[in-house]
């Protein structure tokens, strides 16, 4: 059964890793998917993958930090598929450094993309969803928003901000039947984590009760649930997908 049949979903940062897995999963559930990336080629790669599997998809180049580009993106999604039912805010960057060495540029780049970018997308999409009187917004945060992490003050601050943003917007949009939730991945095997030193990976695994690294598909499964009617009575929540890491 396709739980998202005829639904239209926008997934930001969908060219690889968690974003790509989410796009593929929502498409497998029947959604028409708009994939965004900072390059058209990156967005088209995932969109092509969906189309080759028999789904409907379109790739859009968009910098979520640019409000005008985001407005154009949401309009483009509606022009392409006729509606906008689901928004997944996944686009993000890292610029790691110790706080005493962190430049203004590295701080601002992460806050602007990860937090302001999420705000830009919610603001643009909510206008459309409010007229429909329905919608699902899923924001990808991180468990480091709850734990903190050395060398990631900018990233942790931005992702913690996403949690506060999620809860505030959930309250604002509840009366229009729009559910807003967040997913906080833990140690997930992606291009970003694959390059970590083995010692760091081993130390991380020791803090995970389930004793394994997560996959992008683990995250995509939770997002698919939150994007479906199964989650109609859930809003303003943060779902940790971390193998129990925060618990420990």
Inter-CA distances, 153 with 103, 106, 156, 240, Å: 12, 10, 5, 20
Question: Quick check: 70 and 120 in contact, CB under 8 A?
Answer: yes
Using left for φ > 0, alpha for ψ between -120 and 50, and beta otherwise, residue 133 falls in: left
What span, in angstroms and rounded, lies between the C-alpha atoms of 155 and 148?
A: 9
Cα Rg, the chain, nearest whole Å: 17
User: In b/e form, how buried is each residue of 56-73, taking b as 16+ CB within 10 angstroms?
Assistant: bbbbbebbbbebebbbeb
Catalytic-residue membership of 155: yes
Task: Exactly one of 60, 155, 187, 239 is catalytic; name it.
Answer: 155
Helix (H, G, I), strand (E, B) or coil at 182: strand
Question: Quick check: 89 and 138 in contact, CB under 8 A?
Answer: yes
Taken as a whole, the chain contains a residue count of 248
Evaluated on CA atoms 31, 56, 24, 143, the torsion sign reads negative
Q: Which residue numbers are catalytic?
A: 155
């Amino acid at each position: 059964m396709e739980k998202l049949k005829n639904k239209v979903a926008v997934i930001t940062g969908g060219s690889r890793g968690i974003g790509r897995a989410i796009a593929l999963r929502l498409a497998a559930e029947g959604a028409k998917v708009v994939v965004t990336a900072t390059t058209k080629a990156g967005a088209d790669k995932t969109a092509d993958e969906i189309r080759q599997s028999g789904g409907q998809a379109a790739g859009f180049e968009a910098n979520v930090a640019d409000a005008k580009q985001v407005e154009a993106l949401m309009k483009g999604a509606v022009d392409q598929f006729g509606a906008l039912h689901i928004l997944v805010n996944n686009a993000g960057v890292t610029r790691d450094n110790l706080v005493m060495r962190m430049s203004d540029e590295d701080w601002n780049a992460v806050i602007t993309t990860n937090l302001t970018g999420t705000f830009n997308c919610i603001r643009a999409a909510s206008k459309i969803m409010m007229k429909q009187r329905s919608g699902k917004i899923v924001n990808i945060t991180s468990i480091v928003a709850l734990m903190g992490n050395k060398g990631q003050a900018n990233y942790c601050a931005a992702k913690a901000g996403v949690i506060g943003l999620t809860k505030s917007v959930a309250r604002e949009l509840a009366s229009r039947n729009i559910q807003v939730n967040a997913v906080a991945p833990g140690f997930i095997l992606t291009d970003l984590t694959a390059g970590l030193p083995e010692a760091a990976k081993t130390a991380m695994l020791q803090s995970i009760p389930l004793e394994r690294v997560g996959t992008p598909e683990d995250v995509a499964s939770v997002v698919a649930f939150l994007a479906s009617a199964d989650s109609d009575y859930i809003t303003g929540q943060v779902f940790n997908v971390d193998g129990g890491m925060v618990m420990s």
